[in-house]
Every structure is written in C-alpha cells, then in structure tokens.
Chains A and B, each alone.
Chain A
Amino acid sequence: MSGPRIAALLGRLEGELRTLRDGEKFSNKSRISAGNLVFVCTARSIANRYISVVDEMAQRFPSRAFFVAVEGAPTGSRSSADSSTRLDLLGEGAAVRILSAQQLEAQDDEGPRSMMGLAGDSAPLPSMENAADARMSVDVDGRVYAIETDADGLSDRVDIRGPRAFARHLASAVDALVLPELPVILVWVGTARADDGVFQAFNDDTKRVITDSAYAGLDSLLSIFQWTQEADTRPRLSDLAWVRLGPWQELTARFFDDDRSPLLDVLDRIEISHAAADVGFQPPDCALFTAWIANRLGATLERDSFGYIAPQKNGRRFPITVTPVPRPKGVAPGTLASVRFLAKSNEFTAQIKRDLGTGRGDQTADADLLHWHIADGVTVLEQTIRLHSNKVSYWLDRTVRRPDEEPLFVAVLKTLLAMDAAQDRAQESLRG
C-alpha cells in the first residue's frame, strides 16, 4: 500500500471523527474522554466476535476506541479455531453478546448502543503487494462509529482492518488518530508473543498493555511480562485473568483475618479445582492464584504431578493440588471452581466454592455465586457472595481503572518465572 493511500484513509477518518459529534443527535453529549483504547485482534474469526466487547467497553469508559483487525496469523501461534472456542466460553465472557459489525450497524437507534456508520462506502483499497501472506486477500480499510456511553457521554470507535504485512502501517495510522495527552492502552486480543512484529508495532508509544491469559495462556503472559520488564520505557502489563482473581483473593485473605493469620504457617494442604480444560492447557487462573499464595507466604513453588509444592521459609512443604471438575455447558475451560485451605490436621478448613455456570447473562445480571465457609473447630462462618458481572467489558473497565502497574502482580509473575527457571535447571542437570 502506498503512502498516499494511507494518507487518504487517514484524511477520511480524521474528517469523520471531526464531524462525528456535530450532528444534532449527539449535540448534548459530554465530550470528555478518559483515554485511547487500542484493541488489536490477530484473527478474523475472533475479530468479529470481539467487536461487541469493544462497544461495551466504549460505553463504560468514555474513550476513543480503536479496533484493529490484523489479518493473517503469525507462524506458531495457537490456531484460530482453538482460540475462538476459548473466547466463546471465556469464563466470564460467556455473557458477551457476539455480534458482527454488520449486525451492530443494523442495531442503529435500538437499545442503549447507538451506532452511526459514517463511512458508508468502504472504498476498497488495493490489495497488498509483496505481502508475505498472499492467501489473505484483504484490503486496508477504516470506519468510524459513535457510541453513546452509559453516562450520557460519547465515545468513538475507529475500525481499521488490514493484512499482517501492513501492521506497521496500521499502527502508524492509529498513532495519527489517538487523542493527544491521553494514555494509550493496548488491549491485545489473542495470543501474543513479545517477539512478534505486530505486537511490537503497536507497542511503540503505549502506556500499558492488557492481555487475557485465561484466553491466551500462561506462556503468552509470561513472555510479554519478561519483555515489559526489560526496559523502563516498555508499557506496563495488566492481565484480565489476574484482575478476575481479585474477589477470590479478597475472600481468601478474609480467612486469615482476625488473628487467624498464624494458621498460614501451619498449612497442611491447599486444594484448587477448575472447570476441566483441554489436555495440556495449564489453567492460568490456578497458576496465578497459586503463585499469589506462595509469594505472600514467602514460599517458592515447584511443579508436581498433582499440582504444586510450596516449600515455606520455615521448612514446611505443603502441597497445592489442582484438579479438574466437570465443566458445565457455557463455562470456559480452566475457570477457577474452588479453593480449600486445610490446617492443624484438618481441624481448620476454609473454602470458597463457586456455583459454576449459574451466572450466565441470560439468567442473571451478575455472575456465579460463591459460597464462603470457614470452620476452626469452634466457630463456623458462612457467607454467600456473588461475583461481579461476567462480561469481559466489565473486567476491562475494572482493569483500566486500576494502577498501570501492580507490584503484587509483578511479584507473582516473578514467582512463576522462578518456578519455570528452577524446573529448567533441574531438567538441564538431569540431561547433563
């Protein structure tokens, strides 16, 4: 694609963005924006499904949202069929309405979302020349939409689609259109590799990158984490799977409030269960939760056939078992199902159990119920609590409102990396 073509596209998009709010329909809308959200999606099958998440997020968070579909999967990434299956069921994503852009346009003036497609004619641009992936006969194109926010404001969404070979062009176009002075937050939809050129192209001037390891996998998360840590100029990393653990962490910490924290030094065992996942898929929720516990107890982690072993500084080694439970329909593989702490020869038990799949969007506005239970031989306390909304957009909203970098998250990821490094060393020495 030639420079003038990109310039023409940009010129059109800039013009549309300028006139977007001039219409009578939006004249009374607040024009405050809180940031630039750049969603980058690297598989067409996922892109069409994720666009409703982008809209919901733009409704919650007044922003300029870019939806960039980079078509043509990089070599070695998870197959898009696997990925889209996981996205469909992504635990908390089960409630996301998946609609194509065309369907969304058809919804104009219906319900809370109001879409205004201004680029009625998406004049096709010439197909790429000299592109590595010639199978993808796609053009570079862009469109602009207005999205009314929940609070009487207005976000805009800029869609840009193009082949992987033009990733740098697409990233440059996004750069030209971001709202100045406001942070650029990259939401990476799919598996990411830090050495992937597309990933790097979109991270030139990003303040923060958000991934979802529940979907992309733990290796992807750790790979990006290592990359972000290599220089202060790199974006900070957030992960939706980590943020979704927040209520679990809070409720777990609650077990050991009120002078029960000494029990943490005498734990016998921790049992974690998750909705059954594909063979070979290591549920990130469980790994992050386990690493969080280990980190807070000053323990290291070792992998074992049943899960993990956590050697504590006081010399104790307690097992953390990770087992699958049947996965109800509509629940994402790997979703955290329960955690249970046992101490003092099982005299103390504390458990959070999730009613998997009870919080579907078509049944309740909120998510699954959690049953919190503690018994210490004297007192039995029970509480029923509901997790927050299942929607990916809800968790994205929560995530962007948290600090760019969370020291605890960094420490937890370092715990996981240390475990992997120790395992690698052990295997090396075995081979040696």
Chain B
Amino acid sequence: MSNPLREGLEAGRVVPPCTVVIFGAGGDLTRRKLMPALYNLAVSRALPGGFAVVGISRGEKSDDAFREEMHEAVGTFSRKKPIDPGIWTDFAPGLFFQAGAFGEAETYAKLKERLETIESSRGTKGNRLFYLAVPPSEVRGIVEGLRGAGLVEKHTSISELPFTRIIAEKPFGHDRASAAALNGLLGEVFGERQVFRIDHYLGKETVQNLLVFRFANSLFEPLWNREHVDHVQITVAEDIGVEGRGRFYEQTGALRDIVQNHALQLLCLTAMEPPISLHADAVRDEKVKVLRSLRPLGPRTIRSSVVRGQYTGGFVRGDEVPAYRQEPDVAGESSTETFVAMRVFVDSWRWGGVPFYVRAGKRLNRRATEVAIHFKRVPHAIFPVPDGGISPNVLTMRIQPDEQIALRFTTKEPGQNTVLRDVAMDFRYGSTFGSNTPEAYERLLLDAMRGDATLFTRADEAEQQWAFVEPILAAWQENPTPPPMYDAGSWGPEASHELLAADGRRWRKP
C-alpha cells in the first residue's frame, strides 16, 4: 500500500531502510569517497530511519576504532565541514566493523550472524546493499562467499523485499572475456536488477545534464546530426600522473582506465537517440545501441585511427614532473600507454560519416573533461574574411573542472568595416546554482538504495564497451613496441595532432 503522505513532496523517491556492507572498508575509496558520501547523505536528511553500515576488511579492530577512523576520514574528505557533532552522534552508532579475509567462508558466516543482529537493532528490515570497494581479483571470492553463506536471494524484480543488491566498482573485468565471466558469476547469484556496476562519471551532475541539455531544449536537437555537425571531440585529460598507483596502471593503461568506460559513456550520451523515458532500461537501451553502432576497428584502421602515447618528464603547472617510467612500481621499459587518441565512427542514420575524436591521458597540459560539438561552416561566406573563412560554431559541454556550457559564435566588431570576431558565451553551473553540488558517490549510493539503475552500467553495456576496445588491446599486444613519447604538460604525442590534421582538423585546447 502506498504512503499517501509521500505524494507531492519534493523528495519523491523513498529510500528504504537498509544496511550497506562495504568490502574493502580499510581502503582509500571507503575513506575518501564512500563514508564521506554516506555522512553527507545523513546531513542532508536523505538516509532512512533504519540504516547501518558494516565495514569489512582484514585485521581486527573494534567498532569504536572503526568509527574513529571514519570520523577522521569524513573530517578530512567530506564536502561538508566541519563535522556536525549532532549528526555524527546519531550517525556513528550505525557504523560497525567486521574483520575477515574475503576468501574464507568463515568471514561470511560471521557476517551473516552480525547482519541479523544489526538488522534487528537498527531496523533495516533485512535490506542489504553490498559494496565491492576491492580490486577486481577479489570480486569472485566475495560473490561466491556471499552465495555460500546464503546471504543473497536472487530476485528478478527491483521491487522484491527484502532486497539484496551489489555494487561493483570499475574496472569491470580487464577484457571482454573477463567481463563476461564476471557477469556470468554475478548472474548466477544475483538477478541483473540487483547488480549496480558503478562508473562514477555517470553520477556527475554535468554528465546527467547532458541528457537534460539535449532532450529538454528544442534548440539543439534539430542540429544534433550529420547534417549540421562536422565532428565531435571528447577529451578526458588529467594533469596528474599515476599518483602512486604504478602497479595498477601498468596492468591497466589509459585505454582500460578511461576510454573503455568514462570516454565511451560520454560518447554514448552524446550520440544516443532520445530514450522513450528516463527509466533505467530505456536509457541504457539507447546507450547500448550506440555501442553496437560503433564501427569496429580492424588492424589497419587501428594503425590509422588510434594513437597511443606515454609521458616523459616535463613541466605541469609550473612543477617539474618525472617520466612515467620513473614513477614507482613502473617498469623501466614499460610500454603501457598513458595517452590514447582515436577517431571513431557511429554508423547510424544520425551520425553517418561524422567522426568522433576521443582522447584521454595523464600528465596533459591541464585537467579538463569535455564534449565539444563542432558544427559545419556556413555554406557560403558573404563576408570578406582574409583568414580562411568564418570559424564554425562550437558547443562545448565541460564536465571537469568547472561544469559549464559554452557556445562559440561569430560577431561583427563595432566599426565602419566588417570585421568578424569569434566570441564565446559561457554558462557556468557554479555561477548559477552554487558550487556545493552533491558528490557523484552520494547520488549513486542513494540511487542504489532506491533501486534506480539509470546511472549504472548494464551487463551488456559493459561487455559492448570491452568489445569495442578489445581489438585495439589485441593489436597493441601483437605489436608491443613502446608507444610514442610526449612531454608531460603537453597535449599528447605529435601523432595525436596528426590524426586530426589528416582530416583537416585540429584538437581544441580546453
């Protein structure tokens, strides 16, 4: 029976009581993101009355010690500082710690017992959300452990209660086969509607706003096709290096770390057709259609359409920084790519012939994530312009670091002569809506508790993403020559610029 008091309220969706079980409670993700996000949800009154968190990791510690650690983490990393003692006093008693090795059955037996006690005392009604904040290698053991202890009941509907859900962090597998195997394992234990594959980019406000911008404004959608768009540039640039994660990055590289997930998600949201609704599957169906429409890359096209690179030493934001190969835990002769650029085609009626240029990398000139739609030039120039014609319009949707939408267009300089000038109209989210927007993890955790999977990756989506990048990985594996080098602080190797120059275009400087 529905609750009539809910109708018409500002926060329409109800968060049911639940226990969040975090595997990897001693890790950075828990300290930096998950616990601050949960605390922020408590501050904003978004958590249900019945709520608890159980952190699991190796090494014994008391609940109180865990609470103290989390207090420090929240105090350091929460966007809402200082910690509100009134809220923390209420929040902290809901935090519990359970020591255990993820590969041992005993861990799950103890967890089950603990959960039953907590559920009774905290009124969480048996609803459980398992968060896998662990390396991919640990996932199988945890899923099998949960199954072995009878901690999961497979559901086919999102509305079945009490619910058991699982959040899997990226990277989701390391290639298509491993992603499919992981999906297979999860599929044996959980229903697809119980699985939430996280790509935190999708929790960012501006990424969500891509949908609003496209489908709530009648101005742009009629232009959003091959008739009017010359090409699209997607940039995911970081100015930082591997930040002590050399071992991880050696196994991953930019293609797996950024392109396979974040960049392809941005491409999907840019290129997708209007979904029939905002329902999770309606949106994800359209994204999967884009992934299936991506023109497959064969060995020859990979050579001509994909560029990789690795940074050498250089200067970033005034600081001298080391080469990738000088980073800790990185091989001296490493051939891991820290930069990827590619030309991609979406073979669909809407986008036939329009190139999508995607680049992602580390130690680039600046941190910038954006999608830039470059429109076609006017068909005939009636103005006397000596410098090669009128610049085309460019619509840029910036995601990081400042969320903004900018439109470049041409105007006349005031004066007797007709002198054209490019100007930009900027809309910054922060200027209008303030900068204290929720962190991506707040939104995603809340959505998982509510059972809304719109901003999570579906099984077939994850596999399609791998299916697209796998031939590139295979080609590189067959030809393990070191990638071209680029100076830290630059915009990537020369080959990246040549990729666009061959098409008569050039990269934007975000």
Asked whether A246 is an interface residue with its Cβ less than 8 Å from the other chain, the reply is yes
B-side contacts of A383, CB under 8 Å? 47, 49, 90
Residues from chain A with a CB closer than 8 A to the CB of B7 are 296, 408
Q: Is B79 an interface residue (CB 8 A)?
A: no
Also in contact, A381 and B49, with CB within 8 A (given A258-B17, A297-B4): yes
Determine the residue in chain A with the shortest Cβ distance to B47: A383
Assuming the contacts A381-B50, A386-B43, A386-B86, asked whether A249 and B432 have C-beta atoms less than 8 A apart, the reply is: no
Contacts of B9 in A (CB 8 A): 246, 249-250, 253, 408
Q: Which of A246, A262, A364, A380 contacts B10 (CB 8 A)?
A: A246
Most buried by B among A262, A381, A382: A381
Residue of A nearest to B404 (CB): A30
- CB neighbours of A386 from chain B (8 A): 43, 84, 86-87
Which residues from B are CB-within-8-Å of A298? 4
Contacts of A251 in B (CB 8 A): 45
Q: How far is the CB of B26 from chain A (nearest CB, A)?
A: 27
Q: How far is the CB of A373 from chain B (nearest CB, A)?
A: 9
| Whole-angstrom CA separation of A364 from B43 in the bound complex | 14
How far does the Cβ of A242 sit from chain B's closest Cβ, in whole Å?
Answer: 11
Residues on the A chain within 8 Å of B16, using CB: 257-258
Nearest neighbor of A379 in chain B, beta-carbon distance: B123
Q: Which of A264, A381, A411 has a CB less than 8 Å from the CB of B5? A: A264
- Are B84 and A366 in contact (CB-based, < 8 A)? yes
Q: How far is the CA of A258 from the CA of B163 in the complex (A)?
A: 13
A window 225-268: CB within 8 A of B: 246-247, 249-262, 264
Please judge, given known A-B contacts A250-B11, A253-B9, A381-B49, whether A30 and B431 are in contact too, CB under 8 Å.
Answer: yes
Say which residue of A62, A253, A297, A408 sits within 8 Å of B431 (CB atoms): A62
Q: Which of B3, B50, B428 is the one whose CB lies under 8 Å from A261?
A: B3
Chain B residues 420 to 458 lying within 8 A of chain A, measured CB to CB, are: 426-428, 430-435
Interface assignment of A402: CB less than 8 Å from any CB of chain B: yes
Determine if A132 is an interface residue (Cβ-Cβ < 8 Å): no
CB contacts under 8 Å to A, within B8-36, are 8-11, 14, 16-17
Number of A-B contacts (CB under 8 A): 108
Q: List the B side residues contacting A125 at CB < 8 Å.
A: none
Q: Is B2 located at the chain interface by the 8 A CB criterion?
A: yes
A250-B100 Cα distance, complex, nearest whole Å: 38
- CB contact between B434 and one of A150, A247, A293, A372 (< 8 Å): that residue: A150
Chain A interface mostly helix, strand, loop or mixed? Answer: mixed
* Chain A hits for B374, CB < 8 A: none
Query: Is A34 interfacial (CB 8 A cutoff)?
Result: yes
A253–B6 contact, CB under 8 A? yes
CB closest residue in chain B, given A29: B431
Q: Is the C-beta of A32 less than 8 angstroms from some C-beta in chain B?
A: yes
Closest residue of chain A to B85 (Cβ to Cβ) is A364
Indicate whether A6 reaches chain B with its CB closer than 8 angstroms. no
Task: Say yes or no: A32-B428 contact (C-beta < 8 A), given A257-B16, A402-B10.
Answer: yes
Answer yes or no: B89 CB below 8 A from chain A CBs: yes
Min CB–CB distance A368 → chain B (angstroms)? 9
Question: Size band of the A side of the interface?
Answer: 35 or more
A374 within 8 A of B: yes
Q: In chain A between 333 and 375, which residues have their CB closer than 8 angstroms to a CB of chain B? A: 364, 366, 369, 372, 374
**Smallest CB-CB separation from B43: which chain A residue?**
A386
Pick from A150, A151, A374, A408: contact of B49, CB below 8 A. A374
**CB-nearest residue of chain A relative to B86?**
A369
How many of chain B's residues have a CB under 8 angstroms from any CB in A?
A: 37
Give bound CA distance, A62 to B432, whole Å.
6
A32 to B434 alpha-carbon distance, docked (Å): 12
B428 and A257 form a contact (CB under 8 A): no
- A residues less than 8 Å from B193 (CB atoms): none
User: Is B219 interfacial (CB 8 A cutoff)?
Assistant: no
Asked if B125 lies at the interface with its beta carbon under 8 angstroms from chain A, I say yes
Report if A60 contacts B (CB, 8 A): yes
- A376-399 vs B, CB cutoff 8 Å, 1 = contact: the mask equals 000111111110000000000000
* B2, B16, B433: most-surrounded residue (chain A CB, <10 A): B433
> What is the distance, in angstroms, from A410's C-beta to the closest C-beta of chain B?
10
Does B430 contact A152, Cβ atoms closer than 8 Å? yes
List CB contacts (< 8 Å) of A129-170 with chain B. Answer: 149-153
Judged by a CB distance under 8 angstroms, whether B276 is at the interface is: no
CB pair B8–A407 under 8 Å, yes or no, is: yes
Residues of B within 8 A of A380 (CB): 123
Chain B 24-71 interface residues, beta-carbon cutoff 8 Å to A: 43, 45, 47-50
- Interface residue B1 (Cβ < 8 Å from any Cβ of A): yes
Q: Is A304 an interface residue (CB 8 A)?
A: no
Contacts of B428 in A (CB 8 A): 30, 32, 151-153
Check if A196 is an interface residue, CB within 8 A of chain B.
no
Q: Which residues of B lie under 8 Å from residue A246 when comparing CB positions?
A: 9-10
- Those of A263-279 within 8 Å (CB) of chain B: 264
* A residues in contact with B89, CB < 8 Å: 384
Is A406 located at the chain interface by the 8 A CB criterion?
A: yes
Task: Please report the C-alpha to C-alpha distance between residue A252 and residue B7 in the assembled complex, in whole angstroms.
Answer: 12
Whole-angstrom distance between the Cβ of A392 and the nearest chain B Cβ: 17
In the complex, the chain B residue whose C-beta lies closest to that of A370 is B45
Q: Give residues 374-409 of B contacting A (CB, 8 Å).
A: none
Least CB distance, B340 to chain A, in whole angstroms: 34
Contact B434 A60 (CB under 8 A): yes
Taken together as a complex, chains A and B put the C-alpha atoms of A32 and B403 apart, in Å, by 14
What are the residues of chain A within 8 A of B426 when measuring CB–CB? 30
The chain B residue sitting closest to A369, CB to CB, is B86
List 16 extra interface pairs beyond A264-B5, A366-B84, A385-B90, CB under 8 A: A149-B431, A150-B434, A151-B432, A151-B433, A250-B10, A250-B11, A253-B3, A253-B5, A253-B6, A257-B14, A259-B1, A260-B3, A261-B1, A264-B4, A384-B87, A385-B87
* Chain B residues packing against A (C-beta within 8 Å): 1-11, 14, 16-17, 43, 45, 47-50, 84, 86-87, 89-90, 122-123, 125, 426-428, 430-435
A/B interface sample: 16 pairs, CB < 8 A: A32-B432, A62-B432, A149-B431, A151-B432, A151-B435, A153-B431, A249-B9, A250-B45, A253-B6, A261-B5, A369-B86, A374-B49, A379-B123, A381-B50, A385-B45, A408-B7
> Which residues of chain A have a CB within 8 Å of any CB of chain B?
30, 32, 34, 60, 62, 149-153, 246-247, 249-262, 264, 293, 296-298, 364, 366, 369, 372, 374, 379-386, 402, 406-408, 411
